[in-house]
Structure 1
Amino acid sequence: MNRKEAEDYIYKSYMRAEKFQKYGDRDAKKRHPELSKKILEGLSSSPNICITGSKGKGSVANMLSQILMTKFKVGLFTSPHIYRINERFKINGKDISEEDFVKNMETVKKLFDPIIENLPDYTPLSPMALEAALALVYFKNQKTDINVLELGKGAKYDDVNNPIHDYAIINKIFLEHTRELGSSLEEIAHDKKEIIKKGQKCIYSASQALEVLKILKDKAKEVGVQLKIYGEDFWPDSIKYSLDGMTFDGFIGKKVFRDIKIPLIGKHQVENALLALAASYDIFGDFDLDLVKKNLRNLSYPARFEIISKDPLIILDACINGKSCPELKKSLKELGIKKITSIVGVPDDKDFLGVCNQMKDLSQEIILTKTSNAHYVFTSKQREILRENNIFVRESRDIKEALEMSGDSYPILILGTTSLISESKIYFREKEGR
């Protein structure tokens, strides 16, 4: 098996079944985590921490990994990636090597071949099942002490929820992925609550809408697991913004941790950090605050209000939902930024209207753009729908043309799917000759 064969195998079953799938079907009909359950449970050797929510999962996962690395050898599985799939599998912050990617994929193939070969063409094994298995095999072979696993959009029908996990973190839940998860906030919460399972040590939740919190509390009570909640069991104080990130004090129960700095911008990132800190504090029983502070300061996580240039100011954010925009806007306001040029690359099936509607009051101009990723659809329908909602935009073929159209209208905020972020970073890297 070579590198291409290893990566192709991840998508083999999915691609075979894709032509039989109906776009409008929910995950309950399209996804089959029961196929991988026994294997992923069997591969669960080191303690695992699973993370779900509607936003901020990746930020929490990376922060948690940085904190745990002060004492443990930590496996980290996240998605999506920016440049290459290796980024999804890390140990102590280092991507899996080409050699280990192929070698461990060969082990995964032996485990799943009997399942895939006996499936009807219309029934897929999720790529996430194979990626989660690769992560667990790799972490086991490398003898990690603890692993952090980021789920995808849901939990009930997400294969990454299959590994046995001692702890779970539930970030903010809002109305998103309605086509796949459900049309109401309650339906989405009922899907994501399935990360809570009997026998776990503790669950940590971000602040939630009252109806969501009730669903989570009821599930935790049903299975007999303690639930700790942001704003009740842990919270921040003295929050400060700067172009270099956030500074805050953290309260976890009766303990106070002063002057914590993270190189990510936004109050939501402070909340993400508190979720990671609260879970870590319980796992450690205590921790070396100086080492924790150092590792958090060294955190690198692209496309989360990422400032790629200060002069002129250019910001990247992987935002594809209008619900995520208020935090962006608050961060801009706190930094004294009153007007921006927005470049938006959100596919047709995502919330391009919500993003543009949220950003229009701050934008001197909105420029729509596209990516070269064939899996994402961008059509003129976007401009028509926006015009119907009194949002007037210009269109571009790609990020290069969008930036040329923006001229010198700085600051520039680039919002969109991860493939847009990847193409933007490649463009700036090549422009700088790196």
Structure 2
Amino acid sequence: MIVATDRQGAMKVDAYHAIKFIYQSYVLAQPHITPGLLDIYKRHPGYCSQLLQDLDLDLSQPPSALITGSKGKGSTSAIIASLMQSAGHKTGLFTGPHLVDFCERVRVDWQKIPEPEFVRLVEAVIPHVETMQASMPRHHYLGPVGTVLAVALLWFKEQGTDFHVLECGRGALADDVNVMANRWSVLTPIMFEHPGYLGPTLLDIAANKMAVVKSGQELCISYRQDPEVARLLKSMCRAVQVPLKLGGEDFSVQVVKTGPEGSAFAYQSSRRKSVFKVPLAGRFQAFNAGVAVALAEEVVPGIDDDVLQAGLDSSRWPGRCELVAGTPPIILDGAINAQSAEYLRELLAEREEPLYIVLGVPADKDWQGVIRTLAPAAEAVWLTAASNAHLVFPPAEDVLV
């Protein structure tokens, strides 16, 4: 393990090296992994399960909800956490990736883990990971998400949380987060993405993500899905005997008003018929909020509208259709495919100012769809790339064709 030294020359781990360690197992294995393998053949979440057990962490308590899907996972997770906090629960929130600060991934009642505590808990995990690493085949690794999940659960345990909201990565079947014995499953819209990792068809991708639904759970809640995805979800829930609450059938969300400051939406289920507001811009955030309400009213039976609205009022998710104050106004968003870009285009169409776009979409995302959707509405588009060694961006000549 690479460490730094303090002024007295003592060896210590700092934040930079803590984060570097989190990726170390993957970096060591990467040269030995056969290119082109699906996640189910190269990821091994059993190592995460072993790590959590070695750290004496309970996979089933406190109760947790796991969130997966293709778009809106982070927003939905944040809104659920806000609703549960409003209902009186001390709530641990685990999401990824982060926007600015790595510590954003681990929050209790929205407060991110302080950097010194993050480093301390990584130090606590290091001996367990290194012991495990020593006996792994060279093409195996403990996923970075698994290590961060261990840190998160240790922090949640110290803070005395009583409800956890845990966001999965790109899938679920081979995802480290899915080793948890979650009581509820939440699925946001499932789209065609990551075919090289999850499978070549939409249904392959959907089936991978639906692995978050497990026998013994109380309920699966899903956003309205593509018809063939919805049929598969119903079949899988029946197979494991988990009740399903499906958007468009068991609850409905209708956007009443939307704008840069947020949306109002009508929500209807067997438990209530209400109108709520959410201070997150974009029509899609109203639907994400509706899914969060659908879960909250099941987890906390009898929760009243005032408590739900208070939770919605305090919902935050920076970098998603986020309006930055100033002149000219700036809107930040993380659209990665044509469908999510269309939500952004709808929001931008309500503004009268000339539109200029600065765009950087990784090569493994639907960058063509994002450009095709947004470019016609813009006066000009500037193409850029993030300075992130883990991301590859399309060459300029490909974009300009």
Same fold at TM > 0.5? yes
- Matching of residue 2 in structure 1 with residue 16 in structure 2: no
SS of match in other structure, 2:23: helix
- Asked whether the 8 Å contact 2:255–2:286 carries over to 1, the reply is no
How far did 1:166 drift? Answer: 0.2
- Matching of residue 34 in structure 1 with residue 46 in structure 2: yes
Question: Match for residue 344 of structure 1?
Answer: 359
TM-score calculated relative to the size of structure 1 = 0.84
TM-score calculated relative to the size of structure 2 = 0.91
Mapping of residues 388-403 of structure 1, within 5 Å: 388=401
How far did 1:292 drift? Answer: 2.7
How far did 1:131 drift? Answer: 1.0
- Matching of residue 234 in structure 1 with residue 251 in structure 2: yes
CA distance in 2: counterparts of 1:196 and 1:337, whole angstroms? 45
CA distance in 2: counterparts of 1:23 and 1:365, whole angstroms? 38
Alignment counterpart, residue 317 of structure 1, candidates 315, 319, 333 = 333
Aligned Cα root-mean-square deviation (Å): 1.8
Mapping of residues 158-307 of structure 1, within 5 Å: 158-237=175-254, 239-258=256-275, 260-307=276-323
How far did 1:211 drift? Answer: 1.2
Alignment counterpart, residue 399 of structure 2, candidates 378, 386, 405 = 386
How far did 1:288 drift? Answer: 3.7
- Between 1:168-177 and 1:113-122, the stretch displaced more is 113-122
- Asked whether the 8 Å contact 2:260–2:282 carries over to 1, the reply is no
Question: Match for residue 17 of structure 1?
Answer: 29
Alignment counterpart, residue 55 of structure 1, candidates 59, 71, 75 = 71
- Asked whether the 8 Å contact 1:108–1:137 carries over to 2, the reply is no
- Matching of residue 131 in structure 1 with residue 134 in structure 2: no
CA distance in 1: counterparts of 2:271 and 2:312, whole angstroms? 22
1:248 to 1:53, Cα distance in 2 relative to 1, 3 A? same
SS of match in other structure, 1:360: helix
SS of match in other structure, 1:286: coil
Percent sequence identity is 34
Q: Note the alpha carbon deviations across 1:239-295, whole angstroms, 9 max, x for none.
A: 20122111122212241222x221211221111001111101111102242233223
Name the amino acid aligned to 2:18: A
- Matching of residue 354 in structure 1 with residue 366 in structure 2: no
Gaps of 5+ in 1: 389-434
SS of match in other structure, 2:376: coil
CA distance in 1: counterparts of 2:177 and 2:250, whole angstroms? 27
How far did 1:327 drift? Answer: 1.4
SS of match in other structure, 1:311: coil
- Asked whether the 8 Å contact 2:260–2:347 carries over to 1, the reply is no
- Asked whether the 8 Å contact 1:3–1:98 carries over to 2, the reply is no
Mapping of residues 82-97 of structure 1, within 5 Å: 82-97=99-114
SS of match in other structure, 1:197: coil
Q: Note the alpha carbon deviations across 1:337-374, whole angstroms, 9 max, x for none.
A: 58522211112332221111111221222211122222
Q: Note the alpha carbon deviations across 1:48-86, whole angstroms, 9 max, x for none.
A: 110000000000000000000011000000001112211
Name the amino acid aligned to 2:273: V
CA distance in 2: counterparts of 1:9 and 1:323, whole angstroms? 36
- Asked whether the 8 Å contact 1:43–1:137 carries over to 2, the reply is no
Name the amino acid aligned to 1:63: I
CA distance in 2: counterparts of 1:52 and 1:83, whole angstroms? 22
CA distance in 1: counterparts of 2:378 and 2:98, whole angstroms? 28
Name the amino acid aligned to 1:355: V
Question: Match for residue 6 of structure 2?
Answer: none
CA distance in 2: counterparts of 1:21 and 1:84, whole angstroms? 30
SS of match in other structure, 1:257: strand
CA distance in 2: counterparts of 1:292 and 1:332, whole angstroms? 28
CA distance in 1: counterparts of 2:35 and 2:388, whole angstroms? 18
CA distance in 2: counterparts of 1:183 and 1:29, whole angstroms? 15
- Asked whether the 8 Å contact 1:353–1:385 carries over to 2, the reply is no
How far did 1:2 drift? Answer: 2.2
- Asked whether the 8 Å contact 2:68–2:209 carries over to 1, the reply is yes
How far did 1:100 drift? Answer: 2.0
- Asked whether the 8 Å contact 2:361–2:367 carries over to 1, the reply is yes
Gaps of 5+ in 2: 1-11
How far did 1:310 drift? Answer: 5.4
Question: Match for residue 121 of structure 1?
Answer: 138
- Between 1:220-229 and 1:31-40, the stretch displaced more is 31-40
- Between 1:276-285 and 1:132-141, the stretch displaced more is 132-141
How many residues are matched? Answer: 384
